[in-house]
Amino acid sequence: MKTSSLSAEENHYAFHVDMVCEYYLNGLEITDEMLLQIIPYSNEEFNIFYEKGTMEIRDTPYELFTDISRAVFHKASVQDRIEFYNAALRLASFADGEFAEYYHEELEGLIAMDTGRFCAMAKGQTYAHYNPIKYYLEEHNCDNRFN
């Protein structure tokens, strides 16, 4: 009998990613709630998101990862919705490898729109201790803002 090496939380997360994948493949609307559910909180979740979001299906590159990332950053910059701004910062905190440049550009765009908002939202978050968020917090002197 095959056992899963994923924890219960990772299985729950993977279920949400699988559901969004099905909606995406079938051209169904992915709701804001569904979108927010698949923004990773951990490296393990990010690996699931990236793996499932970049796999190839039916000889067609599966672009879910890119499309979801774009949608989150777009909603964070266009809409005044804290949940998407938080989601975009969390997603950007995983900037690494082949997609790092894109995440850095999007993050820089959000910061340029409102540096104070970035400082206020990112300070104190778990991901604030890691690059690239840490770098931008230091670059914009966020520890000394509004004191």
Domain-wise residue ranges, the chain: 8-144
| Chunked mean pLDDT (size 10), the chain, 147 residues | 55 92 90 96 91 68 80 88 94 86 93 94 92 94 74
Give the model's pLDDT for residue 143. 85
pTM value is 0.85
Structure tokens at 11: 């299985």
Give the model's pLDDT for residue 2. 42
Give the model's pLDDT for residue 88. 96
Sequence-distant (6+) residues with CB within 8 A of 95 are 103, 104, 107, 131, 132
> If you write DSSP's letter for every residue of 124-141 in order, what string do you get?
T-GGGGSTTHHHHHHHTT
